[in-house]
Amino acid sequence: MVIILLNFQFQIIRDRIPSMTLYVHFINDSPVKIWGLTSRQRILRVLRSAGVTDIVDDLTGLPDNGPVLLLRGDYLFDDRVIQYLVKTPDVLLRISQASTSTDTIVAAHVTTRQTPEAIDLIEGTATVDTLPGVKTETLETLSISFQQRLLKFEPPFVLPIMPETKRFLERRLFDWSYKGVTDLITKWVWPRPAQWVVGQCVRFGLRPNHVTIIGLVLVILAGVLFFHGRYGWGLLAGWLMTFLDTVDGKLARVTVTSSKFGHYFDHLIDLIHPPIWYILWGLGLGVSGFEIIGLSIDAVFWLIVIGYAVGRLVEGFFLAWLGKFGIFCWRPIDSYFRLITARRNPCLILLTACTLIGQPDAGLLLVATWTVVSSIFLLGRLLMALISKQTAGSVRSWFLDIDQNKQKQPLAVRLFRHKKN
């Protein structure tokens, strides 16, 4: 009871202490829009997602010791860099300019009293190159290269914005938004067409949720066509849906328009529709006059559903209890296997190939077989990870051990990480 009362009193005291407001001030601006946004507009959206909304143009009148984040508005910042600067006080960020072989201070998180000197540093008019009690960081010293959400290793970037580099910067930002470890279709077939479609979405004002809803319509349409044995048209709708599933996520990231609803809605659709498609495909075999030799259709359905569920549960267990990162980022073999594991796109390849030779029944049987094989592989990898954690004390992603300064990189590194800026 005493502990509860003390905790309650501490909570009251803590709630009465005013939290320090972080003020943000921009230095310089660029009118050039990258994916429809100026650098200032983009940074404001990133800051808003981090709970920072106090933007000031006039630094006079601020609390003497209040925290201030100074940012160059004519540079394109990696979202991770902005998030790091928000959380890290007493820091200057220095980047190397390859074109001029000089270093430039592009951001600072300092106190109000230090802002005049910090602004001089950022504008290049200071007579010193550091501030007392303020640490100077570079992109190379920031430990934020591994992106758990995008399943890849990619060094952070801060790049100057100029009219002549607009296309390069849009390509760079789009590549940054792309997952590193994914299936072979998403990795090698969709990127450039998806980049063009994202550009059209920005041009016409389409938001990620609009694209997701179109994808949901295609999910339903493909399922109906499969059920009626119209496999060719169903596959066309299915492939178009998988393409738009790539587009909506990239559109959300390059325009900083992600929402919790859109995120969970998109992932829920992705999670539940593949086994439903396969079941409807199987039901359509009777309409088309096909039957699976050697197994009942119910047995095939159970193999697919159980295999799919086991695979997903293994992935979830590994993420929650072992690595705090996806199982496909554990070792290079896992990243390679993600290219072909029994997720939607590799299974659609099997269904498409068999339909083209007039054997949709064989396609479903191959999907069932590959789903079971993939789940057995993942179960084996989970067991090995459990043993590794028991003996070594932790499970570590191979991405964290990449030496980005190494000249000749292994094939896995070249495939699954973005090259250095």
DSSP codes, 279-338: HHHHHHHHHHT---TTS-HHHHHHHHHHHHHHHHHHHHHIIIIISSS-GGGSSHHHHHHH
Tell how strand 102-111 and strand 146-147 pair up: unpaired
Band of pLDDT at residue 417, cut at 50, 70 and 90 = confident
The answer to the question of residue 8 being in a domain is no
With 50 as the cut, is the pLDDT of residue 143 above it?
Answer: yes
Q: Which residue(s) pair with 135 in the sheet?
A: 91
pLDDT, mean of residues 199-207: 96
Q: Which residues of 264-293 are buried (b: 16+ CB within 10 A; e: fewer)?
A: ebbeebbeebbbebbbbbbebbeeeebebe
In the chain, how many H helices and how many E strands? 15, 10
Q: Provide the CATH number for the domain around residue 73.
A: 3.90.550
Q: Decide which of 417 and 79 is more confident.
A: 79
The answer to the question of residue 157 being in a domain is no
| Structural domain range at position 83 | 20-147
Do both 61 and 122 map to the same domain? Answer: yes
Band of pLDDT at residue 380, cut at 50, 70 and 90 = very high
Do both 42 and 111 map to the same domain? Answer: yes
Do both 201 and 348 map to the same domain? Answer: yes
Do both 101 and 236 map to the same domain? Answer: no
Do both 255 and 203 map to the same domain? Answer: yes
Do both 134 and 184 map to the same domain? Answer: no
Please state, in angstroms and rounded to a whole number, the distance separating the CA atoms of residues 278 and 371.
Answer: 11
Please state, in angstroms and rounded to a whole number, the distance separating the CA atoms of residues 368 and 310.
Answer: 13
With 60 as the cut, is the pLDDT of residue 11 above it?
Answer: no
pLDDT digits (tens, 9 = 90+) for 208-231: 999 999 999 999 999 999 999 999
Please state, in angstroms and rounded to a whole number, the distance separating the CA atoms of residues 348 and 312.
Answer: 18
The answer to the question of residue 334 being in a domain is yes
Do both 241 and 352 map to the same domain? Answer: yes
What's the token pair of residue 345? 């796109």
Total count of domains within the chain: 2
pLDDT, mean of residues 194-204: 97
Q: Residue 17: what pLDDT? A: 35
pLDDT, mean of residues 201-211: 96
What's the token pair of residue 211? 């694209």
CA gyration radius, the chain: 26
- What sign has the CA pseudo-torsion 242, 243, 246, 249? negative
Contacts of 215 (CB under 8 A, 6+ apart): 241, 244, 245, 248, 269
Band of pLDDT at residue 99, cut at 50, 70 and 90 = low
Q: Decide which of 6 and 23 is more confident.
A: 23
User: For residue 126, which amino acid is it?
Assistant: A
Band of pLDDT at residue 384, cut at 50, 70 and 90 = very high
The answer to the question of residue 172 being in a domain is no
pLDDT digits (tens, 9 = 90+) for 146-190: 776 666 778 899 999 999 999 999 999 999 999 889 999 999 999
Tell how strand 67-73 and strand 75-77 pair up: unpaired
pLDDT digits (tens, 9 = 90+) for 240-266: 999 999 999 999 999 999 888 888 889
